[in-house]
Amino acid sequence: MRQLLISNICSPMLGTGTGGGVPMRPRTLAERQAALDALRRELAARGLAGWEDGLYHYRPSSHMAERRARGGVLDDFTAAPLCVVLSSIFWREAWKYRARAYRYVNHDLGHAMMAVQYAAGAMGWPSLVRGIFPDAAWHSRLHLAADEQVMLLIELWPPAGPRAPQPPEWTPGEPNRLSAEVVEYPLIEQIHQATLASEASPAFSQARVERWPHGDYARLARQRRSALDFLPEGRVLPQPAFPAMLELLAAPLPTDWGERYVAPWIFVHRVEGVEPGLYRAEGTGLALVRRGDQRGAAAALSLGQELAGNSCFTVSFVADVGRACARFGPRGYRFVHHEAGALGQRLYLAAEAFGFRGTGIGAFYDDHVHQWLGLETAGPWQVVYHFAVGDPVPDPRLAG
C-alpha cells in the first residue's frame, strides 16, 4: 500500500501551494505532499492482511490513510479486494488553466492511473482501469462533496483472504471548506455534464499485471521529475532508448474502454539513427510526414515553449476523438485524454530509465498543430497532448 501510494503521488501534479492560489511545481516529496492537488484518492479495501475492511481517504500531507467507513462500502459495486478511486475537484486546476483545466485534469488522471498500475504490477498485482460506471451512484455511495467528481476506478487484485459481508459504518465528519468564495467555470460544468451521459458498455474487462519493463520501477517513480528545459546542444538520444520508447507508446493499456485511440506524431530533433523530421508512429515503426529541422515548428506550436524544440523529440498525441465518441458518447473525450496522459507517464519513466528526462506539455495551439500535421481543423482527429523528451538543463530546485 505504501509503495502504491507513494508512487501515485510521484506522478506529475499541477499543484497549488498550501497557501491557496499559489502556483508551484512541487519539487521534493514533502512539497508534493503539501500541494493542493486537484486529484484525490480513496481506497476501498477488503480481506487485505493488516487492513481493516473499509473505505479510506489517502491524505498525502501526512502519508496517511484516513478511515472514512468500516465495512464493505463497495461490496455490490466491485469484486476487487482493493479499489483505488481517483476523483477530481476541477476548480483546484481551473484557477490556473480556466476551461482548459478539464483537459489537464484528465491528463493528470491518465498519468496517475499508469503510476498505480505499474506500482501494482511491481508487486505482481493484476489491475484494470474502469472509466465506464454510473457516476451518480458512485458519488453518492462514496459520500463525496458536491464539488468532487469520481473520474476513474482502478481495480486491483492483491492477495486477499475471505471475509464476511459487513454493512458500512461511516466515520462522522465534514470535508474542510478551503475557500469562502466559489468561482464558476460554466464551460467545465457543461463538458463534464456531457461526459456523464454514457450508455456505452465496457469494451474490455480483463485485469492484467502491468509490469514496468526498464529497471526498478519504485526508484524511477520517485526520481521522475519534469525538465524545466532541455539543453539545445545536448546529448543525442541513443539507440536503444528510442525504439524502447516507441514500443511503450504502442503497447496496449488495460482499461475498460479497451482500444487505443491516440496516435503519436513525433517531431524528431536529435535521435541516433533517425533523420530530423516529423513522423507518424505506426506501431513501433515511423512514417515520414515532413523532412527537415522541426525545432522551430515544435516550439512554436507548443505555445512558443522552447523546450519543445530543445528536446531530442517532442510528441504530438493526436486522438481519434470522432471514433472514441462514436463508441462511448462524449465520455470518449475523457478517455482520449487519459490515454495520452498514461502514454506521457510511460515516457516520463522511460526518459528517467535511459538517463534523460521528460516534460508534459498541455499548452499548445490546437488549430495550428492540426494545420502543420495536415489534419482538418475540426475533424475527428484532434491533438490532445504534447510531450517532450531530452537532455535536461540542471534544475537548481533539485540540487542538494
Binding site for ligand FMN (CB under 6 A): 12-14, 25-26, 104, 107-108, 111, 225-226, 305, 359-363
Measured from the CB atom, is 65 or 347 closer to ligand FMN?
347
Task: Give least dist CB 170 to ligand FMN, A.
Answer: 34
Task: Give least dist CB 372 to ligand FMN, A.
Answer: 17
134 CB-near residues (< 8 Å, 6+ apart): none
Closest by alpha carbon to 33, among 67, 6, 55, 3? 6
Measured from the CB atom, is 74 or 361 closer to ligand FMN?
361
Task: Give least dist CB 7 to ligand FMN, A.
Answer: 12
Measured from the CB atom, is 360 or 390 closer to ligand FMN?
360
Q: Are 361 and 299 in contact (CB under 8 A)?
A: no
Task: Give the span between the Cα atoms of 60 and 326, in whole angstroms.
Answer: 38
Pairing label, strands 82-88, 64-70:
unpaired
* All three cell numbers of 346: 510511460
Measured from the CB atom, is 46 or 224 closer to ligand FMN?
224
Task: Give least dist CB 234 to ligand FMN, A.
Answer: 17
Q: Is 243 left (phi over 0), alpha (psi -120 to 50) or beta?
A: alpha
Q: Name the maximum alpha-carbon separation found in the chain.
A: 65
Measured from the CB atom, is 13 or 36 closer to ligand FMN?
13
Task: Give least dist CB 394 to ligand FMN, A.
Answer: 14
Task: Give least dist CB 361 to ligand FMN, A.
Answer: 4
Going from the C-alpha of 189 to that of each of 45, 89, 91, 194, 273, the distances in angstroms are: 31, 12, 10, 9, 47
Task: Give the span between the Cα atoms of 313 and 121, in whole angstroms.
Answer: 28
354 CB-near residues (< 8 Å, 6+ apart): 214, 237, 238, 241, 244
Measured from the CB atom, is 155 or 352 closer to ligand FMN?
352
Q: Which residues lie across from 274 on neighbouring strands? A: 271
What does the DSSP 8-state code read for residue 337? Answer: H
Measured from the CB atom, is 32 or 327 closer to ligand FMN?
32
**Strand, helix or coil for residue 327:** helix
Q: Count the neighbouring beta carbons within 10 Å of the beta carbon of residue 273.
A: 10
Task: Give least dist CB 92 to ligand FMN, A.
Answer: 14
Task: Give least dist CB 161 to ligand FMN, A.
Answer: 37
Measured from the CB atom, is 104 or 125 closer to ligand FMN?
104
